[in-house]
Amino acid sequence: MKKNSAASKWMDREAVERLLKSYRGEEDVKRIKNTLIEQVQSGNAVVVEVLGEALRNHRKLTDQKHAARLLAEIGTNEAVDVLYAAGSKDAVKISVFAVWEIEQHAGAKPALLGALRAMDSLDINVQGMAMVAGLARFRNENKKKEEDRDVELCKQLRELGKQVLLKGMQSGHPFIRELAAGRMAQDFADDGEVLKALFKLMKDEMPEVRMAARRTLEKVREKEVEEGKASITLRDYFEKMPELPKAGGQTFVLQRNRQSGRFNFVQGAPLKRMVY
């Protein structure tokens, strides 16, 4: 791969770590971040390796000289931005896993912005991890007590979360569409765009996707009836909608490894074991 003229020289591992060590305060963040972005956009995979290693290990390492510790000072969100800028499948995957790893350190907004970018990946694992990680961060932020919440931030997060969900509903992978149409959609089911997308998924070619969308719409209908504001359109829709095939067969599920805490996709497990 030819080096981009913008990056006159690719940095090796030592050079990347020296750059990280040059951090002295907030004023250095932009310089370091821009240099790293320039490197990854020119095709330098070493930067991806170093940052990936740092993000994966920063919680358990105590060596103050290690890049991971320095990275924690510069900011994990900045590191994730650099990796997304790299654009490669490996870099995006590392970034999405990092959203889980740095959950207690990164704000919900950077996590959702990162998830939104990762949804452009064609890889099922990247899409699935991005959607689940991003929307979990939205839900956690939204669950805070009313007095502890930033109302304006919550509005922004809701919009970002909705965009992540809609991208999931438009995915080329049936499992991602099924995941998006199910439990994840319920937090946004009072939104017109999401309802429209759910109705569209009721005509999806895959029965699992159609069933997931139907279950979500049924829950919306039940809630509306309970609150005394049932939608005539929704009611009429269900009265006219023929019964879909009953759940059967097997699909992908997302399961948490109890030891590592990581989530993995498992094929061939019953749908009822899906974890979210």
pTM: 0.61
Q: Are residues 19 and 96 in the same domain?
A: yes
Q: What is the pLDDT of residue 163?
A: 94
Q: What is the pLDDT of residue 92?
A: 62
* CATH classification at residue 137: 1.25.40
Q: Are residues 236 and 172 in the same domain?
A: yes
Q: Note whether residue 16 is domain-resident.
A: yes
Number of domains in the chain: 2
Tokens 């305060």 found at: 25
Q: What is the pLDDT of residues 123-145, one digit of tens each?
A: 787 788 778 878 887 887 777 75
E strand residue ranges, 20-81: none
Q: What is the pLDDT of residues 144-180, one digit of tens each?
A: 755 677 778 888 889 999 999 999 999 999 999 999 9
Q: Note whether residue 162 is domain-resident.
A: yes
E strand residue ranges, 111-169: none
**89 Cβ partners below 8 Å, 6+ apart?**
121, 123, 126
- How confident is the prediction for the chain on average, in pLDDT? 72
Q: What is the pLDDT of residue 251?
A: 42
> Under DSSP, is residue 256 helix (H, G, I), strand (E, B) or coil?
strand
Q: Are residues 134 and 78 in the same domain?
A: no
Q: Note whether residue 2 is domain-resident.
A: no
Q: Note whether residue 266 is domain-resident.
A: no
Q: Is the pLDDT of residue 104 over 50?
A: no
Q: What is the pLDDT of residue 162?
A: 94
Q: Are residues 169 and 138 in the same domain?
A: yes
Q: What is the pLDDT of residues 51-97, one digit of tens each?
A: 877 776 655 544 445 555 556 566 666 776 777 676 666 666 666 65
Q: Note whether residue 160 is domain-resident.
A: yes
Tokens 């290690």 found at: 66
Q: What is the pLDDT of residue 67?
A: 53
**More reliable by pLDDT, 239 or 200:** 200
Contact criterion met (CB below 8 Å) for 128 and 175: yes
Q: What is the pLDDT of residues 8-62, one digit of tens each?
A: 588 998 898 888 888 777 788 888 888 988 898 888 888 888 887 777 665 554 4
Q: To 5 degrees, how large is the angle CA 52–CA 54–CA 56?
A: 70
Q: What is the pLDDT of residue 66?
A: 55
Q: Are residues 186 and 90 in the same domain?
A: no
Least confident segment among 3-7, 199-203, 267-271:
267-271
Q: How far is CA 144 from CA 37, 58, 111, 153, 234, in A?
A: 35, 27, 17, 12, 31
Q: Is the pLDDT of residue 247 over 50?
A: no
**What token pair was written down for 258?**
């109890």
Q: What is the pLDDT of residue 166?
A: 96
Q: What is the pLDDT of residue 239?
A: 60
What is the extent of the structural domain holding 65? 10-106
**What token pair was written down for 182?**
């199910």
pLDDT band, residue 1 (cuts 50/70/90): very low
Q: Note whether residue 37 is domain-resident.
A: yes
**More reliable by pLDDT, 258 or 197:** 197
Listed residue (267, 259, 268, 261) closest to 124, CA to CA: 267
Q: Note whether residue 5 is domain-resident.
A: no
